Structure 1
Amino acid sequence: MDRLGSWCPLSGFPRPSVLICLLILTASFLTYPMLRTLSLRLHSAITGSYFSGAHSIVFVNCPNEQVARDIARAILNKKLAASVNILPKSSSLYFWKGEIEEATEILLLIKTKTSKVLMLSSYIRLVHPFEIPEVFSLPMDQGDVHYFKWLEEGMEED
């Protein structure tokens, strides 16, 4: 008689060795993204290389250039970003309270660490004049290692 099968009291239930294999495979599958991220960060720290997604570009629309400059300077002073581009006069069409609105806005492209995006978004909501400011981010997938190192240095606390 199969000794492993005798351990399981339920008839028709898979043998314990099969259950253990399924458990290991499931755990591996569920922890893979976390383990991959940790291994990439470790590799990056040891080799000084860059790993995808560590930095993000945050997009923010502002009503005018003065507001855009004030927000840009404030987030740079708080070390929430290393660089901000101010792109003048983009035309925006959007729904607001059931109506189509049209406005001229200034676009900020904010370069930051992905780990700071939530803190940056919260801060922008506090200082932005819009009731619901447009704040979203995209991870940087590729780029120059020296540039990413420069971004890191720009956000280091004094």
Structure 2
Amino acid sequence: MDKPESRCPPPGSLRLLVLTCLLLLAAVLTYPMLRTLSLRFHSSLTGSYVPGTYSIVLVNCPNEQIARDIARAILDKKMAASVNILPKTSSLYFWKGEIEEATEILLLIKTKTSKVSRLSTYMRLAHPFEMPEVFSIPMDQGDARYLKWLEEAMKD
């Protein structure tokens, strides 16, 4: 017959197992933050670009004057470095259960990814649409000189 103490783990092994699990969990949970910090540190040392630092934000406007007013306002507030205004985009979409069709003006806004949230909040306040279309696409790569210019153009 087995002795009861032979089925139990040695006294310190359970504590070691719990500690190992906690360390693994901490490593998994902090990986995204540590990766971002290490990429930024590497970027500052080498001058290389960290993908996702900048984004292109797309916003539809009902007409060119509103598009120009919004573009000027976000540039004045240093929420973007550049805005392209693309004329007459045809849009079809569902709105309140119906298919709608409209001619809109598309803004392509180049900004820092860290400013997208602030830009989105501003659009909800300044845009005439009840629910403005605002979404961003992170830039994976780009010309180093242009990306440096983006950074300089948005300095406060």
Q: Same fold (TM over 0.5)?
A: yes
| Residue 11 (structure 2) aligns with | 6
Counterpart AA for 1:141: D
Deviation at 1:5, TM superposition (A): 2.1
Give the 3-state SS of the residue equivalent to 1:45 in structure 2: helix
Deviation at 1:115, TM superposition (A): 0.6
Give the 3-state SS of the residue equivalent to 1:85 in structure 2: strand
Give the 3-state SS of the residue equivalent to 2:92 in structure 1: strand
| Residue 33 (structure 1) aligns with | 32
Deviations 1:116-147 (A, max 9, x none): 00111111111111111101111111112221
Alpha-carbon contact 1:57-1:112 (below 8 Å) kept: yes
| Aligned structure 1 segments of 4 or more residues deviating by more than 3 angstroms | none
* Contiguous gaps of at least 5 residues in structure 1: 8-13
Identity of aligned residues (%): 71
- CA distance in 2: counterparts of 1:141 and 1:111, whole angstroms: 13
Deviation at 1:42, TM superposition (A): 1.5
| Residue 136 (structure 1) aligns with | 135
- CA distance in 1: counterparts of 2:10 and 2:150, whole angstroms: 58
Counterpart AA for 2:75: L
* Contiguous gaps of at least 5 residues in structure 2: none
Give the 3-state SS of the residue equivalent to 1:15 in structure 2: helix
| Residue 46 (structure 1) aligns with | 45
Deviations 1:37-79 (A, max 9, x none): 0111112222222101111110000001111111111101110
| Residue 82 (structure 2) aligns with | 83
Instruction: Give the superposed CA RMSD.
Output: 1.7
Counterpart AA for 1:89: K
